[in-house]
Chains A and B, each alone.
Chain A
Amino acid sequence: MDSTQLLKGVLDLAVLAVLDERDGYGYDVVRRLREAGLEDVGDASVYGTLRRLFKAGALTSYVVASDEGPHRKYYGLNDVGRDQLASSAATWTAFAATMADLLKERRPS
């Protein structure tokens, strides 16, 4: 199964979860998602998702000047973002449990 297809549906949730841990700038979010095991995540997909969540009012942003590199725009969750994370996480948990049950019934170990 192509994991990029699965990822599309849960990328919002994954990005929200990463930012809930601590604020981050675009490429930092990409790296943390990859470190967490989502190696196929696309840079452009993460960047586009961040911009969309920001536009939807789920994120706050602030610029941090950096001496050695470009300015970094950090994103963090606001209340809207935290609500969205909570409801999406609940949906995902239920969905994942259902899938786990399904697969367990089909192939009892």
Chain B
Amino acid sequence: MTAEQYAQAVREALADHPYRDELLEDLDDHLAEVAAESEVPLEERLGPPEAYAAELGAAYGDKPQERRTRFRLGAARASLAGHPAFGQLAAFLPELRPGWWVLRGYALAMLLISAAGEAQLVPDALGEFALVAGVIWLSVVLGRMPRGRWLRITSALASGFAVLALMLGFLGAQSLSRSAGPSPLAYQEPVTVDMMASVGEISNIRPYAKDGTPLSDVYLYDQDGRPVTTNPEMFGYTVDRSCGEPVLNRYPLPLRLESSSPESTQAPAACPTASPTAAPSAIPEVAPTEAPTATSRPESE
């Protein structure tokens, strides 16, 4: 390790020292002087750079607790620094900083705007655009300043708030996109046609095509995607379950009068070959377990 490398390692170990530049001002000259005196490598004469840095910090005066964590961080960095991938990453990360300053400024400005009024993700007034530009400018200026203790604290606070604002923004955007429309996969509570508001009483709905052809297996939904159902039981009808549990918003419903004998409706006009797969996915799956018990099979008796 040359005197320059040794000095660099000490500098890195003291990276977080509040007065590092002041303290290490003459370090290079000093170490060069020490190195010039003897052929013995600096590590052997002065110990590892991290220990040297710790001793420097102790003699100069700083908080021992902080120094210990710094020491460990410094050692970890020193062992990582030998890895080429780490070197590339370390060289690349500073290039991202200007981008972060801009994003930080934007997030802080939107946090301010949202705190003052309605929560929003983009500025929509001239004053708001000006504020956003101003805060971004401040954030960049703050990022470019030489680092002192107070500046570092301010900068960390600003970044913390910006991260908070970004997370709030992402959450807000996500819930917005969710509420934009009903998800076809979500189960919706059925709505019942309002009997009182409608003309007369509705127990069933018989849809027809415009040429007069009666339609069957028509699924009805309201404006929110909820299945539209009637309440046939109120009018003395029961839903025919001989073909299994029917879908209650598929019209016309298979109804029969409760009073009528089972024989009269016995001939179960061919059960609609309901293929649940063809139905929109919002329809609860038909459970066909009850069906066979209700259907009589004369030839077997």
List chain A positions with a Cβ less than 8 A from chain B. 11, 25-27, 42-49, 51-52, 55, 69-73
Q: Does the CB pair B46–A52 fall under 8 Å? A: no
Q: Does the CB pair A71–B29 fall under 8 Å? A: yes
B2-42 to A contact mask, C-beta < 8 Å, 1/0: 00000000000000000100110111111011101100000
Q: Does the CB pair B34–A52 fall under 8 Å? A: no
Q: Which of B27, B56, B59 contacts A11 (CB 8 A)?
A: B59
Q: Does the CB pair A73–B26 fall under 8 Å? A: yes
B58: CB under 8 A from chain A? yes
B61: CB under 8 A from chain A? yes
CB distance from A75 to the nearest CB of B (A): 10
Q: Once bound together, how far apart are the Cα atoms of A11 and B60, in whole Å?
A: 12
CB distance from A82 to the nearest CB of B (A): 21
List chain B positions with a Cβ less than 8 A from chain A. 19, 22-23, 25-30, 32-34, 36-37, 45-46, 52-53, 55-61
Cβ contacts under 8 Å, B45 to chain A = 43
Q: Nearest 6 A-B pairs (CB), nearest first?
A: A48-B59, A44-B55, A48-B60, A70-B32, A70-B29, A45-B59
Say yes or no: A52-B29 contact (C-beta < 8 A), given A43-B34, A44-B52.
no
Q: Does the CB pair B55–A26 fall under 8 Å? A: no
Cβ contacts under 8 Å, B53 to chain A = 44
Say yes or no: A51-B34 contact (C-beta < 8 A), given A44-B46, A45-B59, A70-B29.
no
Q: Does the CB pair A70–B56 fall under 8 Å? A: no
Q: Does the CB pair B29–A46 fall under 8 Å? A: no
Cβ contacts under 8 Å, B27 to chain A = 47
Q: Once bound together, how far apart are the Cα atoms of A2 and B213, in whole Å?
A: 108
- A-B pairs with beta carbons under 8 Å apart, 15 shown: A25-B30, A25-B33, A26-B30, A45-B58, A46-B59, A48-B55, A49-B60, A51-B22, A51-B23, A51-B25, A52-B60, A69-B32, A69-B36, A71-B29, A72-B33
Q: Does the CB pair B26–A45 fall under 8 Å? A: no
Q: Once bound together, how far apart are the Cα atoms of A49 and B59, in whole Å?
A: 5
Most buried by A among B22, B29, B53: B29
Q: Once bound together, how far apart are the Cα atoms of A45 and B60, in whole Å?
A: 8
CB distance from B96 to the nearest CB of A (A): 34
CB distance from B46 to the nearest CB of A (A): 6
Q: Does the CB pair B30–A45 fall under 8 Å? A: no
Residue in chain B with minimal CB distance to A42? B55
Q: Does the CB pair B60–A26 fall under 8 Å? A: no
Cβ contacts under 8 Å, B28 to chain A = 70
Most buried by A among B27, B36, B52, B56: B56
Q: Does the CB pair B60–A51 fall under 8 Å? A: yes
Cβ contacts under 8 Å, A43 to chain B = 34, 45-46, 52
Cβ contacts under 8 Å, B32 to chain A = 69-70
Q: Does the CB pair A26–B37 fall under 8 Å? A: no
Q: Once bound together, how far apart are the Cα atoms of A70 and B36, in whole Å?
A: 9
Residue in chain A with minimal CB distance to B30? A26
Q: Once bound together, how far apart are the Cα atoms of A29 and B46, in whole Å?
A: 16
Q: Once bound together, how far apart are the Cα atoms of A73 and B23, in whole Å?
A: 13
Given contacts A48-B58, A70-B29, 8 further A-B contacts (CB under 8 A): A44-B59, A45-B58, A47-B56, A48-B60, A51-B23, A52-B59, A70-B36, A72-B33
Cβ contacts under 8 Å, B52 to chain A = 43-44
Q: Once bound together, how far apart are the Cα atoms of A45 and B46, in whole Å?
A: 11
Residue in chain A with minimal CB distance to B37? A27
Q: Once bound together, how far apart are the Cα atoms of A63 and B53, in whole Å?
A: 24
Cβ contacts under 8 Å, B22 to chain A = 51, 55
Cβ contacts under 8 Å, B26 to chain A = 26, 47, 51, 73
Cβ contacts under 8 Å, A11 to chain B = 59
